[in-house]
Amino acid sequence: MSTEAKLELDGKVYSLPTVEGSEHEKAIDISNLRNLTGYITLDDGYANTGSCKSAITFIDGERGILRYRGIPIEELAEKSTFIETAFLIIYGHLPTRAELKRFSDLLTENAILHEDLKYHFEGFPPHAHPMAILSAMINAASCFDPTLMQRFDNGRFDLHAARLISQVRTIAAFSYRKSRGLPIIYPKSAYKYTANFLHMMFSMPYEDYEIKPEVVRALDLIFLLHADHEQNCSTATVRMVASSQANLFASAAAGVCALWGPLHGGANQAVVEMLEEIHRSGDDGSRFITAVKDKSSGKRLMGFGHRVYKNYDPRAKIIKQACDNLLNVLQISDPLLDVAKHLEETALKDPYFIERKLYPNVDFYSGIIMRAIGIPIEMFPVIFAIGRMPGWIANYKEIAEDPKSRIYRPRQIYIGPTLQHYVPLHQRKNTGASAPKKNAA
């Protein structure tokens, strides 16, 4: 049944069509609103704005549901692998045995970076953040494939996508090695995706890293759980850049930058830094929770809260369990896990968090798993980026394949000065308006 929304403005009534998704989410289609009425909508932070129709990921934040291409995240976490899930997200269906083999072979064939790219790593200072290196190097890698510079090339999409998924992992490992002054370790074709990443991160030229299946499984699960999450900040950025018909690598590099911030993919790093600070100060988390509730403290409980989930993030549930399992198997007792559990327990009983529907998100426990594996803290957002690559690629593909796709170009409500005129330099007075301070470095 089609419904129309009625809008009354300046004494006139307008009819606006509505749209319903396959899971019954409803939207008012305002694409003709300005033409009809002269008005635009204003939605700070886009909390009520659907920026696109997408067939990739479904989230019901009220019920804590996440599905990739219709399949619940819990089933994929239990039965699938990151690479199989990447195929599902990009191509829309679970691969047959032959399709999976072809996809895996493409990843293996494209794992090595152009040798000249090694020199680009030399230019970064020793303590450069690996997210800066990752973003820069994804862009740099695109220069080595002239076919990428052409407009979306359907015949080469499979190759470009596989190259990006495979090389982002190689770049990530190289950037870690560079930041530690360690020799670069090349991928080995005998290893599967996640084992190969661990090999490139931790092997030495004279000694291979011991690849433990439990560790591979835990990291593979982290990649899988991060593989897509509909129109989050970085994916929306990728779509924004893709809408200008920029190439896949350029769009993904922009995604890395958007992901880096502590409110998004940088939260996993921020969580562990927060837990370390709490632990160092001898607090069990109670004092910190009190400080968080005082808005003037400027503190947030990192790893808690979500724009869409108003219930427990289903990924957090899975990660919490995986965290317990891995630490048990590796016989690690991490005091930060105790602090995290106590924080969670306290927050979930506290009216501040209950009223605002703030629950642990995917980043709350993932850092503790990564610490246990030996991944350094500054690499945590990079791990998120490796995992999110299939989602970015699938969203890029949706834009590129849509013949009706238009450039993303929001409007604004201008609140600056109305018409004024240029004043010659010698007539200007100091008004105390904002300007760089004298001692600005």
Q: Which residues are catalytic?
A: 306, 363
Please give the size of the binding site for ligand CMC, defined by CB under 6 A.
21
- Assess 292 for contact with ligand CMC (CB under 6 A): yes
Shortest Cβ 67–ligand CMC spacing (Å): 16
Minimum distance, C-beta of residue 306 to ligand CMC, in the bound complex (Å): 5
CB of residue 295 to ligand CMC, shortest distance in Å: 7
- Residue from 130, 255, 303, 367 touching ligand CMC (CB under 6 A): that is 303
Q: What is the DSSP string of 244-296?
A: TT--HHHHHHHHHHHHHSTTTTTHHHHHHHHHHHHHHTT--SHHHHHHHHSGG
In SS3 terms, 376-417 reads as CHHHHHHHHHHHHHHHHHHHHHHHHHCCCCCCCCCCCCCCCC
Q: Which residue is nearest to ligand CMC (CB)?
A: 305
The residue among 196 and 234 lying less far from ligand CMC, judged by its C-beta, is: 234
Per CB under 6 A, does 362 bind ligand CMC?
yes
**Please, what is the minimum distance in Å from the beta carbon of residue 176 to ligand CMC?**
21
232 binds ligand CMC (CB under 6 A): yes
Q: What are phi and psi of 57, to 5 degrees?
A: -125, 140
Helix 213-225 to helix 314-329 angle (10° resolution) is: 170
Minimum Å gap between C-beta 161 and ligand CMC is 22
- By the rule CB under 6 A, 306 interacts with ligand CMC: yes
Q: How far is CA 229 from CA 196, 234, 235, 361, in A?
A: 25, 10, 8, 12
Between residues 155 and 351, which has the closer beta carbon with respect to ligand CMC? 351
Closest to ligand CMC by CB, 142 vs 231, is 231
The tokens 């359907």 sit on which residue?
154
Query: Cα–Cα distance between 224 and 216 in angstroms, integer?
Result: 12
Of 229, 210, 228, 200, nearest in space to 379 by CA: 200
* Placement of tokens 């900040």 in the chain: 233
> Rounded to whole angstroms, how far apart are CA atoms 408 and 231?
14
Taking the complex as a whole, the smallest distance from the CB of residue 351 to ligand CMC amounts, in Å, to 12
Q: Does 301 bind ligand CMC (CB under 6 A)?
A: yes
**For residues 305 and 390, which CB has a smaller minimum distance to ligand CMC in the complex?**
305
Q: Look at phi and psi of residue 64 and say left if phi exceeds 0, alpha if psi is from -120 to 50, else beta.
A: left
- Interaction between residue 366 and ligand CMC (CB under 6 A): no
Q: Any contact of residue 263 with ligand CMC (CB under 6 A)? A: yes
- Distance, CA of 437 to CA of 319 (rounded, Å): 46
Q: What's the distance, CA 10 to chain centroid?
A: 42
Stretch that binds ligand CMC, among 55-63, 108-116, 243-251, 304-312 (CB under 6 A): 304-312
Give the nearer residue to ligand CMC in terms of CB position, either 204 or 354: 354
Under rule CB under 6 A, residue 264 binds ligand CMC: yes
User: What strands, in cross-sheet order, belong to the sheet with 65-68?
Assistant: 57-60, 65-68, 71-72
Q: Which is nearer to ligand CMC, 199 or 226 (CB)?
A: 226
Tokens of 284: 């069990």
Q: Which stretch binds ligand CMC (CB under 6 A): 95-103, 107-115, 248-256, 359-367?
A: 359-367
Binding mask 14-53 for ligand CMC (x = CB under 6 A): -------------------------------x--------
**Does 267 help bind ligand CMC (rule: CB under 6 A)?**
yes
Length of the chain: 441
Distance CA 172, CA 166 (A): 10
Which CB sits closer to ligand CMC, 192 or 300?
Answer: 300
Q: Is 302 in the site for ligand CMC (CB under 6 A)?
A: yes
Q: Which is nearer to ligand CMC, 113 or 358 (CB)?
A: 358
Which of 174, 193, 304, 380 binds ligand CMC (CB under 6 A)? It is 304
Rounded Cα gap, residues 433 and 423, in angstroms: 15
- Binding-site ranges for ligand CMC (CB under 6 A): 45, 229, 232, 263-265, 267, 292, 300-307, 356, 358, 361-363
